Chain A
């Protein structure tokens, strides 16, 4: 079983829909990251979380440390949000980074 699981693997939605991507992990962590990778490969760091909730524009990230779960929400989704979203955690056990396999999001106009 992977230590970081994302769901769904793929998501297609209409423009304007509210999007939720989930990340569950099984190790103790010091921080969780959400990354965005556009077609072509470049990766952008969206959020770094260790507790609570963060908001940036239409993006919201939440984390529940007790439940070992994080969600990334996109409000009023737009075709330019189409990308792969990757969850990554910093493991307390060995201070290593563990990546999820990513969620491919496609927003239709």
Chain B
């Protein structure tokens, strides 16, 4: 079974803190993704990576950065957390190729609250 593991299910941080969200997959997938999910807005793509050290901006990259130093690990970084970044964050992975070709496998999600 494919496993996509997010390091925390729940996280509470203060405004201005630097926040790291970690995601690890065990299927040797090339692609990894970070989404956020907000009520009434659905899922939105923040960043994705198709290879080690490669990254591409999604629809809402502002306020976020990412790091992919190893194939199995994709980190989402909030350099200075703000209250409007309170959300559910979901990591996903897939084999190379876009949504038109491959199923994505999702982690359980991290619910981040920024106070």
Distance of A43 Cα from B107 Cα, bound (Å): 7
Distance of A99 Cα from B44 Cα, bound (Å): 8
Distance of A50 Cα from B99 Cα, bound (Å): 11
Which B residue sits closest to A101, measured CB to CB? B42
Interface residues of A in 66-95 (CB under 8 A from B): 86, 88, 90, 92, 95
Interface residue tally for chain B (C-beta within 8 Å): 25
A40's contact among B59, B98, B108, by CB below 8 Å, is which? B108
Say whether B41 faces chain A, with CB atoms less than 8 Å apart: yes
Say whether A31 faces chain B, with CB atoms less than 8 Å apart: yes
Say whether B103 faces chain A, with CB atoms less than 8 Å apart: yes
Interface of A is mostly: strand
The reply to whether A99 and B42 form a contact with Cβ atoms under 8 Å apart is: yes
The reply to whether A31 and B41 form a contact with Cβ atoms under 8 Å apart is: no
Distance of A99 Cα from B92 Cα, bound (Å): 14
Q: Interface code B68-99, partner A: CB below 8 Å = 1, 0 otherwise? A: 00000000000000000000101010000011
Q: Taking beta carbons and an 8 Å cutoff, which residues of A are in contact with B?
A: 29-31, 33, 35, 40-45, 48, 50, 86, 88, 90, 92, 95-97, 99-102
